[in-house]
Structure 1
Amino acid sequence: MRRKIRYSIMAIAVFAAAVYLNNTSLLASHRQGMPVLLAHRGIAQRFDERDLTNDTCTAARMLPPKHDYLENTIRSIRAGFDAGADIVEVDVHPTTDGQFAIFHDWTLDCRTNGHGLTRAHSMAQMKALDIGYGYTADGGKTFPFRGTGIGQMPTLDEVLQTFPDRRLLINVKSRDPSEGEKLAAVLNALSAARLELIMVYGGNEPVQTIQRLAPDVKTASRASLKACLLGYIGYGWTGILPQACKNTMVLVPVNIAPWLWGWPDRFLNRMEAGNSVVFALGPYRGGDFSTGIDTPELLAKLPVDYSGGIWTNEIEAIGKLSGN
């Protein structure tokens, strides 16, 4: 009996040692280089993020402005790249005349002087709107950007033409699979070299459609992110990469990262071998996904010499702090 117990203990010890050696980042090759910075919406006006719902008008909760950039504009995107972003995220909505508008909100009422569903308008109609109309930091007493955003809502084509060699992350705001079909047609018309610089994330249904029609594009959805992270936590110790972690964008909240086998370098190497890219986020606290790495304190939670991706809403600050 004692011999069996001793053999069992030895077997467990050998197994534990094998798991450790297979997953410790200490024995993984270190990824050289600077972090890859992703600027969410370019340079944007910040807002009070407490108690947000899907219907919250964030323009009406703007914090006192530190600059005059309006998100999702050519000027904002350019400023994001100039501040050190390697990738800029933009939001798209289809228009009634077959284009894609770069704009965040599902409706026009919050930020603009327009009304109704964004996708229920033509691009010409939206070009006539003032996208700075609704921003206020004092409860509606003043509107500092009113009148400055007329004609500033770009099309996806304009963004692609203005930044032909820059990396972009396109956010599909709907759950409509037909939107995935329309966006896939736009992407498939690009050159192979340009397509390599594009990623797409958003609703499960349009993203699945893009995966099918434009399989070379890296994509992500809430469903794929959940499947990837849970699968990896569950059996990533084997070295087997879940299918959901291949050819995708993996978002990793900083408080979830320590649970990932081989974090950071072995994890990053495994994702790279699966043709995937990783971006660290702010802490996940349940409900909606987490915020970005927006403060020096959150940046300090990443490993020393971390060279993966960083998602931020404060590219002008994080770009300087990360050395980009």
Structure 2
Amino acid sequence: MTMKGLQRWRRKRIWIPLFFFVFVYLNNTSFLVEAKGNPFLLAHRGLSQTFPMEGITGDTCTAKRIYKPEHPYLENTIFSMEAAFDAGADVVEIDVQLTKDGQFAVFHDGTLDCRTQAKGSVREYTMAELKKLDIGYGYTADNGKTFPFRGKGIGLMPSLKEVLQRFPDQPFLIHIKNDDPDEGRQLATFLSPLPSSRLEKITVYGGDQAIEVLQQRLPNLRVMSKQTIKDCLIPYIAAGWTGYVPKSCSHTQLHIPEKVAPWLWGWPHRFLQRMEAQDTRVILVAGGGGWSEGFDSAKDIERLPSGYHGGIWTNRIDRIAPLLNR
């Protein structure tokens, strides 16, 4: 190689990587994307009693460790959902459990021992029997010295049918708690008679098996599971720097832990723009996303990227909505 050829080659070795880095930066920077308004708010379990997250496991009875109550609402009740929507929630998250008579009860736990005076699993009771229980029975903020909601939760466990009848136009995120294919089939059967305009405002998430069956039977329903998130984000992380968005990211929902989000190509505004183009909703979950951590205080809101307009997960819609002028 001649001296001039060697010099040209050396210049290429400098410029080619530089062009590459400039391309990646410009293709993924959020500075060139106009931010759109405020976040939309997802109220976890409606307006509920909250509790410290430290030391929680899958077996922890959270009703026995609540903070001193600041409001009268119990999670997953009609009243808590009304309060959440009135406060400014755009979407309310609820939990469903299959009952003995094939209905879906709106209740967080698979068993009744923690929150009610009954024993055993929800599946062992009919919806009518569940209506007789006191869902506020087990709540205490002082290690069992007092039970501020005991006697006040009788008849407050609703069915999914009641919820959708009471809120015919409001958006819901339904959490199917058991990763059981049969529950996915039964939920599909329950939802299938609803008009497409109503199904457009419903998202369902849960275990991989239940969601896979549900998606097969209702392909136009927005769903989410760990597997659907992986199917979207793994190829996006591999190739999203080019602007490529995999088909698996279309018409779904992504719950992104706060600690993971900054590592996504184009975060925040370019990433949100790409997902919105695919009709996909992005919900930012506080911290590592381990145990339903939410943006629940003014300090939490301060951590949001400037101009962030995606969704945020909150356990205290009553505190957060006023901070965002809702």
Judge which range, 57-66 or 294-303, deviates more. Answer: 294-303
1:23 is the counterpart of 2:19:
no
3-state secondary structure, aligned to 1:263: coil
Corresponding residue number in structure 2 for 1:317: 319
Decide whether the 8 Å contact of 1:254 with 1:301 is kept in 2.
Answer: no
Q: Is the 8 A contact 1:181 1:210 kept in 2?
A: yes
| Other-structure match for 1:244 | 248
Please report how far the alpha carbon of residue 289 of structure 1 lies from its aligned counterpart in structure 2 after TM superposition.
5.3
Match of 1:146 among 143, 147, 150: 150
CA contact (8 A) 1:253 1:290 kept: no
Larger of the two Rg values belongs to structure: 2
1:180 aligns with 2:184: yes
Distance 1:48 1:14 in 2: 49
**CA separation in 2, counterparts of 1:295 and 1:8?**
50
Question: Counterpart in 2 of 1:40?
Answer: 44
Is the 1:200–1:220 contact (alpha carbons within 8 Å) kept by the matching residues of 2? yes
Shift of 1:187: 1.7
Q: Distance in 2 between matches of 1:296 and 1:27?
A: 28
SS in 1 for 2:220: coil
In structure 2, C-alpha distance between the alignment counterparts of 1:48 and 1:182, rounded to whole Å: 34
Cα distance in 2 for partners of 1:5, 1:95 equals: 72
Q: Residues of 1 paired with 2:287 and 2:20: CA distance?
A: 32
Cα distance 1:229–1:300, how it changes in 2: closer, same or farther (>3 A)?
farther
Letter in 2 for 1:158: E
Shift of 1:34: 2.6
Q: Which runs of 4+ in 1 moved over 4 A?
A: none
1:234-279 per-position Cα deviation (integer Å, ceiling 9, x unaligned): 2211211133322111112222221111112211111011110011
Q: Distance in 2 between matches of 1:126 and 1:75?
A: 17
Q: Is the 8 A contact 2:100 2:122 kept in 1?
A: no
Asked whether 1:6 is paired with 2:11, we answer yes
* CA-to-aligned-CA distance 1:39-91 (integer Å, 9 cap, x gap): 00000001121111111100011111111100000000000001110100000
Residue 261 of structure 2 is aligned to residue 235 of structure 1: no
Q: Following TM superposition, by how much is the alpha carbon of 1:227 offset from its aligned partner in structure 2, in angstroms?
A: 3.8
Secondary structure of 1:184's match? Answer: helix
Residue of structure 1 equivalent to 2:81: 77
Residues 97-176 of structure 1 mapped to structure 2, 5 A cutoff: 97-176=101-180
Give the drift of 1:226. Answer: 3.5
Secondary structure at the counterpart of residue 146 of structure 1: coil
Instruction: Provide the secondary structure at the position in 1 that maps to 2:205.
Output: strand
Once the two structures are superposed, what CA deviation does each residue of 1:83-130 show, in whole Å capped at 9, x if it has no partner?
110100000011111210000001000000111111221101100100
Give, as a single letter, the amino acid of the residue that structure 2 aligns with 1:302: L
**In terms of mean alpha carbon deviation, does 129-138 or 1-10 score higher?**
1-10
- Aligned residue for 2:255, secondary structure, equals strand
Identity %: 52
Amino acid at match of 1:261: W
Aligned residue pairs, count: 321
Alignment partner, residue 301 of structure 2: 299
Partner of 1:263: 267
Distance 1:290 1:19 in 2: 34
The normalised TM-score by structure 1 is: 0.95
Deviation of the 1:147 alpha carbon = 0.5
How far did 1:5 drift? 2.5
Q: CA deviation at 1:308?
A: 1.0
Q: Structure 2 counterpart of 1:21, which letter?
A: L
Question: Partners of 1:293 and 1:226 in 2: how far apart?
Answer: 24
Using the TM superposition, give the Cα deviation of residue 188 of structure 1 relative to its aligned residue in structure 2, in angstroms. 1.4
Which of 88, 91, 96 is matched with 2:95 structurally? 91
Equivalence for 2:3: none
Q: Distance in 1 between matches of 2:86 and 2:168?
A: 15
Judge which range, 265-274 or 241-250, deviates more: 241-250
Matched, 1:224 2:237: no
Q: Does 1:276 align with 2:291?
A: no
Gaps of 5+ in 1: none
> What residue in structure 2 maps to residue 308 of structure 1?
310
CA RMSD of aligned residues (A): 1.4
